[in-house]
């Protein structure tokens, strides 16, 4: 059996196990509900930020990166898309962007680091 086939089968299984794939697009502001296991206890941690990249294609290895600025410091977290620990991804605001990877946000700070909201009437200011 070829490797690609074997892995494809494995990855299908994995994707099915992760019942629902989160739906979002690059530039969206999201809240990621991530299950954290500490010994016996479990709790949900919420990470809010902008989706700046998605990698790994369509397989079970796909990941997405969320960036937020916390206390003036940029923080990025990479989540596995199909991880059973990602409980849900809430889209708070849809962003209008012209790139698949928003790495240019890293060099910007403050107002320049905003992502335009989708739609005509709402602006970032209005929503906040």
Q: What are the residues binding other proteins (CB under 8 A)?
A: 1-3, 6-7, 9-11, 14, 17-18, 35, 37, 60-61, 80, 82-85
| CB of residue 59 to other proteins, shortest distance in Å | 9
| CB of residue 105 to other proteins, shortest distance in Å | 26
Q: What is the residue whose two structure tokens read 């796909």? A: 62
Judged by beta carbon, residue 52 or residue 60, the one nearer other proteins is: 60
Judged by beta carbon, residue 10 or residue 92, the one nearer other proteins is: 10
C-alpha to C-alpha distance for 74 and 128, rounded to whole angstroms: 20
Pairing of the two strands 29-38 and 41-55: antiparallel
Judged by beta carbon, residue 31 or residue 63, the one nearer other proteins is: 63
Q: What is the residue whose two structure tokens read 């700070």? A: 109
| CB of residue 127 to other proteins, shortest distance in Å | 33
116 Cβ contact partners less than 8 Å away, ≥ 6 residues apart = 95, 96, 97, 123, 124
């Amino acid at each position: 059996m070829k490797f690609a086939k074997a892995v494809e089968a494995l990855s299908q299984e994995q994707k099915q196990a992760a019942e629902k794939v989160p739906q979002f697009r690059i530039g969206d502001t999201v809240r990621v509900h991530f299950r954290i296991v500490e010994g016996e206890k479990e709790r949900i941690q919420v990470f809010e930020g902008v989706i700046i990249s998605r990698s790994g294609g369509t397989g079970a290895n796909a990941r997405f990166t969320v960036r937020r600025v916390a206390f003036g410091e940029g923080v990025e977290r990479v989540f596995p898309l199909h991880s059973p620990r990602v409980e849900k991804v809430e889209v708070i605001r849809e962003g209008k962007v012209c790139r698949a990877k928003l790495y240019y946000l890293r060099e910007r700070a403050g107002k320049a680091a905003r992502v335009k909201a989708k739609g005509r009437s709402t602006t970032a200011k209005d929503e906040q």
